[in-house]
Structure 1
Amino acid sequence: MAGRERMASMDAAWLQMEEPANLMMITAVLWFDGAVDLERLRAVVRERLVERYPRFRQRVVPGPLGGPHWEDAPDFDPDEHLSTLRVPEFADHAGLEALVGDWLGVPLDRSRPLWHFHLVRGAPGGDVVLARLHHCIADGIALARVLLSLTDPVDAGTVPETWDESPEAVMPSEVERRPQAPGWLRMARGARSALRKGAEMVREPILAGDLVREGAKGAAALGKLLVLPPDPRSPLRGPLGPRKVAAWSSEPIELERVKAAGRALGGTVNDVLLTAVTGALRRYLGSREAPLEDVHALVPVNLRPLDVPVPRELGNRFGVVFLRLPVHLAEPRRRLREVMKRMEHLKRSPEAVVTSGVLELLGRTPAALERAVVDVMGTKASLVATNVPGPRQPVSLAGSRLQGLTFWVPQAGHVGLGVSLFSYSGQVTVGVASDASRVPDPGALVAAFHAELDALATLAP
Structure 2
Amino acid sequence: MAPSLRKSVTRAVTGTLGLRGERMSKVDTAWLRMDSPVNLMVIVGVWVFRPGVDFDAFCERLLERLSKYPRFLQRVVEDPAGATWVRDRQFDILHHVVRGRLRRRRGDSERQALQARVAELAMTPLDRRHPLWQFELIESYDGGSALIARIHHCIGDGIALISVMMSLFDGGLPPPERPRRGAAAPAPDPLGAIETWLAGNVLKPLTGATVKAINVAGDGAARSLDLLSRPQEGLAQTLGQSADMARLGGQVLSDLAELVLMPDDSPTGLKGEAGTTKRVAWCDPLPLDEVKAIGKGLGCSINDVLLSCVAGALGAYLRGQGEATEGKEIRAMVPVNLRPLDQAWKLGNRFGIVPLVLPIGIENPVERLYEVKRRMHGLKGSTQPLLVYGVLSIAGALARPVQELLLSLFHRKTTAVMTNVPGPQKKLTLCGATLEQNMFWVPQTGHIGLGVSILSYGGGVQFGLITDSGLCPEPQKIIDQFEPEFTKLLTLAMMLPWGLEA
TM-score, normalising length: structure 2? 0.81
| 1:185 corresponds to which of 187, 196, 201 | 196
Question: 1:101 maps to which residue?
Answer: 119
Q: How does 1:293-308 map to 2 (within 5 A)?
A: 293-306=328-341, 308=342
SS in 1 for 2:434: strand
Pair 1:244–1:222, CA change in 2 (3 A): same
Partner letter of residue 222 of structure 1? L
- Separation of aligned partners in 2, 1:197 and 1:232: 34
1:38 aligns with 2:71: no
Pair 1:121–1:24, CA change in 2 (3 A): same
Question: 1:135 maps to which residue?
Answer: 153
Unaligned segments of structure 2, at least 5 residues = 1-18, 175-185, 203-215, 240-246, 497-502
Q: How does 1:138-217 map to 2 (within 5 A)?
A: 138-152=156-170, 177-178=188-189, 181=192, 184-189=195-200, 199=224, 215=248, 216-217=250-251
Does structure 2 retain, via aligned residues, the 8 Å contact 1:28–1:132?
yes
Question: 1:55 maps to which residue?
Answer: 71
How far is the alpha carbon of 1:108 from its aligned partner? 0.7
Percent identity over the alignment is: 38
SS in 2 for 1:112: coil
- Separation of aligned partners in 2, 1:88 and 1:123: 12
Measured against aligned partners, the alpha-carbon deviations of 1:250-288 in whole angstroms (never above 9, x if no partner) come to: x21110011111111111111100000000111011112
Question: 1:270 maps to which residue?
Answer: 303
Pair 1:315–1:209, CA change in 2 (3 A): closer
Question: 1:239 maps to which residue?
Answer: 273
- Separation of aligned partners in 2, 1:347 and 1:387: 16
SS in 2 for 1:270: helix
More helix by share: 2
How far is the alpha carbon of 1:289 from its aligned partner? 2.1
Q: How does 1:372-383 map to 2 (within 5 A)?
A: 372-383=405-416
Partner letter of residue 452 of structure 2? V
- Separation of aligned partners in 2, 1:376 and 1:444: 30
Does structure 2 retain, via aligned residues, the 8 Å contact 1:27–1:132?
yes
Partner letter of residue 326 of structure 1? P
| 2:91 corresponds to which of 52, 76, 80 | 76
Q: How does 1:436-447 map to 2 (within 5 A)?
A: 436-447=469-480
Question: 1:224 maps to which residue?
Answer: 258
How far is the alpha carbon of 1:179 from its aligned partner? 6.7
Q: Which runs of 4+ in 1 moved over 6 A?
A: 207-214
Does structure 2 retain, via aligned residues, the 8 Å contact 1:115–1:133?
yes
Does structure 1 retain, via aligned residues, the 8 Å contact 2:225–2:382?
no
- Separation of aligned partners in 2, 1:412 and 1:338: 27
Does structure 1 retain, via aligned residues, the 8 Å contact 2:223–2:340?
no
SS in 2 for 1:454: helix
Question: 2:388 maps to which residue?
Answer: 355
Does structure 2 retain, via aligned residues, the 8 Å contact 1:20–1:242?
yes
- Separation of aligned partners in 1, 2:296 and 2:192: 43
Pair 1:355–1:346, CA change in 2 (3 A): same
Does structure 1 retain, via aligned residues, the 8 Å contact 2:164–2:345?
no
How far is the alpha carbon of 1:416 from its aligned partner? 0.5
| 2:110 corresponds to which of 83, 92, 101 | 92
Does structure 2 retain, via aligned residues, the 8 Å contact 1:281–1:445?
yes
Does structure 2 retain, via aligned residues, the 8 Å contact 1:118–1:131?
yes
How far is the alpha carbon of 1:203 from its aligned partner? 7.3
1:16 aligns with 2:33: yes
Partner letter of residue 244 of structure 1? K
- Separation of aligned partners in 2, 1:402 and 1:455: 30
Does structure 2 retain, via aligned residues, the 8 Å contact 1:417–1:434?
yes
Pair 1:446–1:211, CA change in 2 (3 A): farther
Segment drifting more, 89-98 vs 386-395: 89-98
Measured against aligned partners, the alpha-carbon deviations of 1:390-412 in whole angstroms (never above 9, x if no partner) come to: 11211111221100100000111
Does structure 2 retain, via aligned residues, the 8 Å contact 1:35–1:127?
yes
Does structure 2 retain, via aligned residues, the 8 Å contact 1:389–1:422?
yes
- Separation of aligned partners in 1, 2:372 and 2:235: 15
How far is the alpha carbon of 1:131 from its aligned partner? 0.4
Pair 1:341–1:330, CA change in 2 (3 A): same
How far is the alpha carbon of 1:204 from its aligned partner? 7.1
SS in 1 for 2:30: helix
Partner letter of residue 454 of structure 1? T
- Separation of aligned partners in 2, 1:181 and 1:268: 32
Partner letter of residue 197 of structure 2? R
SS in 1 for 2:27: helix
- Separation of aligned partners in 1, 2:97 and 2:382: 42
How far is the alpha carbon of 1:45 from its aligned partner? 0.6
How far is the alpha carbon of 1:80 from its aligned partner? 1.6
SS in 1 for 2:292: helix
How far is the alpha carbon of 1:218 from its aligned partner? 1.9
Unaligned segments of structure 1, at least 5 residues = 154-159, 163-174
Pair 1:179–1:220, CA change in 2 (3 A): closer
How far is the alpha carbon of 1:200 from its aligned partner? 6.5
Does structure 1 retain, via aligned residues, the 8 Å contact 2:225–2:381?
no
How far is the alpha carbon of 1:190 from its aligned partner? 5.3
Q: Kindly tell me the number of residue pairs found equivalent between the two proteins.
A: 435
- Separation of aligned partners in 2, 1:205 and 1:110: 37
Structure number, greater radius of gyration: 2
Does structure 1 retain, via aligned residues, the 8 Å contact 2:81–2:397?
no
